[in-house]
Structure 1
Amino acid sequence: MDKSDKIIVGISIGDLNGIGIEVILKTFEDKRMLDFCTPVLFGSTKVISYHKKALEIETAVHGITSINQINHSKINVLNIWKEEVEIELGTATKISGDYAAKSLASAVAHLKENTIDVLLTAPINKENIQSETFNFPGHTEYLEANLEGKSLMILMTDELRIGLITGHIPIAKVAESITPALIKSKVETMHASLLQDFGINKPRIAVLSLNPHCGDKGVIGAEDDEIIKPTIDEIKETGKLVYGPYAADGFFGSETYKQFDGVLATYHDQGLAPFKALSFGKGVNFTAGLNAVRTSPDHGTGYDIAGKNKANPSSFAEALFTGIKIFKTRKEYLELTHNPLIIK
């Protein structure tokens, strides 16, 4: 592969006091990883060196001050700040949140400028990252505000892809948020993603019920009969292979999910609790529906093990490979579906 053709993966380093930098360094300990992509970490060589010393990790990095200085044979660290930063491994501090935000903002800016191809985000702390410039429940909402498209959080492995109809909102607001328009939007986004990002020609999508037992014909709640089922029936008329609603407990307990290419959960924990029980350590968080590819590992900042060299890099490595694969699949899909005979 010509080095100029290598996929450039921009990596935001996440909370400076968590395990993000540790899993990044461990992922690239194997130099063969550089055969798959050119990594660019957005942060500071001083911060990376601090973690290397604390963790006794030898992974070599290459400091640059401009994206134009990328070395395709090395792990690049784009220095976006020069000052010393106080690091307290294992502790949530305002400083660590502020610099996590700086890293993310710079990475997203470069993604928008197409100087990186894929964004891979290390975990943030959703509380200490809050500021006047970052006022979002998490990565997904921030990315939707800064990129084009309608986002859909998908937690995935090779066998299971779970999207969320509602994301980071209080459970008390879930029922009122489930509308026909929202369901249609999320189904459309998942359907399009399964086509262009995963190469599935006729994707089968399952929608989970909001209430236990699908509401038991109104005994436990009317939303499934009055909102979700009629909306699914309406979507089916467009030719999409969408089914449900399915009661979540039986759906996962009987492994019915294996019959589908994608699953839409009505709220956060309905989808993520079974996903992490089935796949923790191997899962990837993919933000579908946007005009750029972003993935992340399925774990958090891991303050309890930060600085102890105990973090498992498997999910981060999976996120890296997934981002690369989706970027390639999407690019191929767009090339195949582009019609050169259409006159603009």
Structure 2
Amino acid sequence: MKKEENIIVGISIGDLNGIGGEIILKTFEDPRILEFCTPVIFASVKVMSYFKNHFKMDINFNGINHVNQIIIGKVNVLNVWKENVSINFGKEDFKIGEYAIRSLEAATAALKDDAINVLVTAPINKHNIQSDKFKFPGHTDYLAEQLEGESLMFMITDFLKVGLLTDHVPVSEVANHITPELIESKIATVYHSLQKDFQISKPKIAVLGINPHTGDNGVIGNEDDTILRPTLKKIKDTGKLVFGPYAADSFFGSNNYKNFDAIIASYHDQGLIPFKTLSFGEGVNYTAGLSKVRTSPDHGTAFEIAGKGIANETSFKEALFAGIQIFKHRLEYETLVKRV
């Protein structure tokens, strides 16, 4: 790839006491990665140098103070702060949570200004990021407010893609959140993402039921019959290949998921438990439906192994390449649309 075609990937550092710094460095220690993208790590040279020394990594940084100083083909570290930071691997720390948010906000601003092409977020701790200024349950909700579009948590691999009708919602409130309007919106987001981001011209989508056995004709709840089925029929009547609701308990074990381009689950664990069982360590969390491309590994801060040098960078690397590929697909899609 020519240098002028090199995609600029911004990386928010996540929780400094977690495994984020380690998996980022392990990814970019391989110089071949720089043939595909130019990374910009939003943190500080001091912090990244600390990680480099702690993990005994052979990697060089290009320290910068502004995005206009990015050098293509180098591992750039943008100084979001310059003061010393006390890092204690595996410890939850609200001060560290503040640095995670400063990194995320700076990276998001660069993404909105087109100074970077793609954002890859390292894991945060959802508890220690909370403050009077930041009251979002996680990355997805914050980015949904900052970037245009209808956001959707879309867990992806080459062989499995799972979207959610509801994400960070208590189980006791799931049914109350699922409305015909929500179902139509989320399916439209998944459908358009499959076309635009994954180059699937006529997507085939399965939707899982809300209740066990999709309600058993009202014996175990009536939401599948009164809300989900009528809405899916309405969508299918427009020509979209949308099927369901399917009983969630047997859908993945029977390999039925292989017959579809994407599956939409009603709530978080219904979709993410089978997804992570089938692809843990290789999956990618993609925020579909936004005006910009954001991906993340499919795991958390992993405090229990932080600082030990044993974290696996595969999911982060997959998130990096997924972001690059989706960005390219979007450029191709926009070119085709303009020709039409």
Smaller-chain TM-score bracket: over 0.9
**Counterpart residue number, 1:43:** 43
Supply the distance in 2 between the matched residues of 1:292 and 1:31 (Cα, whole angstroms): 26
1:50 shift after superposition: 1.1
Other-structure match for 2:92: 92
Shift of 1:339: 4.5
Alpha-carbon distance in structure 1 between the residues aligned to 2:133 and 2:12: 16
Task: State the secondary structure of the residue aligned to 1:253.
Answer: coil
Q: Equivalents in 2 of 1:147, 1:138: separation in Å?
A: 15
1:163 matched to 2:180? The reply is no
Matched with 2:186 is 186
1:66-85 to 2 correspondence within 5 Å? 66-85=66-85
Alignment-derived partner of residue 297 in structure 2: 297
Partner of 1:14: 14
For 2:254, the equivalent position in structure 1 comes to 254
- 2:37, 2:73 within 8 Å by CA — same for their partners in 1? no
Q: Equivalents in 1 of 2:323, 2:132: separation in Å? A: 30
Say if 2:265 and 2:271, in contact at 8 Å, map to a contact too: yes
Q: What per-residue deviation string (whole Å, max 9, x for no partner) do you get for residues 244-287 of structure 1? A: 00011111110100000011000000000111111000000000
Name the structure 2 match of 1:208. Answer: 208
Match of residue 127 from structure 2: 127
1:313 maps to amino acid? E
SS state at 2:111 partner: helix
- Structure 2 unaligned spans of 5+: none
Q: Is the 8 A contact 1:29 1:59 kept in 2?
A: yes
Is structure 2 residue 334 aligned with structure 1 residue 334? yes
The aligned amino acid for 2:152 is L
The alignment status of 1:105 with 2:143, answered yes or no, reads no
Calculate the aligned-residue CA RMSD, in Å.
Answer: 0.9
- Per-residue CA deviations over 1:33-63 (Å, capped at 9, x if unaligned) read 0000000000101111111122222222111
1:170-249 to 2 correspondences below 5 Å: 170-249=170-249
**Structure 1 letter corresponding to 2:50:** Y
Distance in 1 separating the partners of 2:303 and 2:175: 33
Identity %: 61
Moved over 3 A (4+): none
CA distance in 1 between partners of 2:301 and 2:242 (Å): 35
1: CA distance, partners of 2:232 / 2:73: 49
For the residue of structure 2 that corresponds to 1:338, the secondary structure is helix
Partner of 1:32: 32
Question: Tell me, what secondary structure is at the counterpart of 1:168?
Answer: coil
Q: Which runs of 5+ in 1 are unaligned?
A: none
Q: SS where residue 9 of structure 1 aligns?
A: strand
Distance 1:189 1:135 in 2: 25
**1:212, 1:7 → 2: CA distance?**
45
Partner of 2:141: 141
Q: How far did 1:2 drift?
A: 3.3
Alignment partners' CA distance in 1, 2:62 and 2:90: 26
Q: Distance in 2 between matches of 1:178 and 1:12?
A: 32
SS of corresponding position for 1:326: helix
In the alignment, residue 195 of structure 1 is paired with which amino acid?
Answer: Q
Amino acid at match of 1:134: F
Aligned partners of 2:11 and 2:308: how far apart in 1?
Answer: 22
Distance across 2 between alignment mates of 1:276 and 1:296: 14
CA–CA distance in structure 1, aligned partners of residues 212 and 310 of structure 2? 39
Number of equivalences: 340
> Aligned partners of 1:334, 1:165: CA distance in 2, in Å?
27
